Amino acid sequence: MNPISVLLVDDHLVVRSGLKALLGTQPDITVVAEAASGEEALLIAQQHPANVVMMDLAMGQGMDGIEAIKRLRQASKQQAVLVFTTYDSDADIVRAVDAGAMGYVLKDAAPEEIFAAVRARPKARAS
């Protein structure tokens, strides 16, 4: 079985690096690319299609995560978007799901919860 491919999207290098290291401990999950902005994510997602795009909601200047999710979903229904953020208000969650996110995980979640969320996405898209 092929590993689950992941594109990480966060404007903080330390977050991307830490998440890449964490996901790298799992033999069935592979980080195939990283992006520091919504705009970069859209370009990279075309070049390196991933099963799961892990997207932060707030990314400094430029396109925010909500707009990036909308555009990713318009371009491809095959890539599941998993929000990975510190924002936990009901309004943020609803906005992300309405934009097309398939899941929502907080950055302070336990590693097992993050792994489970990544693993759940491709199964959900297969149906």
123 in a structural domain:
no
For residue 82, give every residue at least 6 positions away whose Cβ sits within 8 Å of its Cβ, in sequence order, or none. Answer: 52, 53, 54, 55, 101, 102, 103, 104, 105, 117, 118, 121
Has residue 79 been placed in a domain? yes
Is residue 45 situated within a structural domain?
A: yes
Which phi and psi (to 5°) does residue 58 adopt? -110, 125
Query: What's the pTM?
Result: 0.91
The answer to the question of residue 84 being in a domain is: yes
pLDDT tens-digit profile of 28-76? 999 999 999 999 999 999 988 899 999 999 988 889 999 999 999 988 8
Asked whether residue 124 is assigned to any structural domain, the reply reads no
pLDDT digits (tens, 9 = 90+) for 3-31: 999 999 999 999 999 999 999 999 999 99
Q: What are phi and psi of 108, to 5 degrees?
A: -95, 15
Per the structure, how many domains does the chain have?
A: 1
- Residue 90 sits in which domain range? 34-109
| Residue 61: CATH number of its domain | 3.40.50.2300
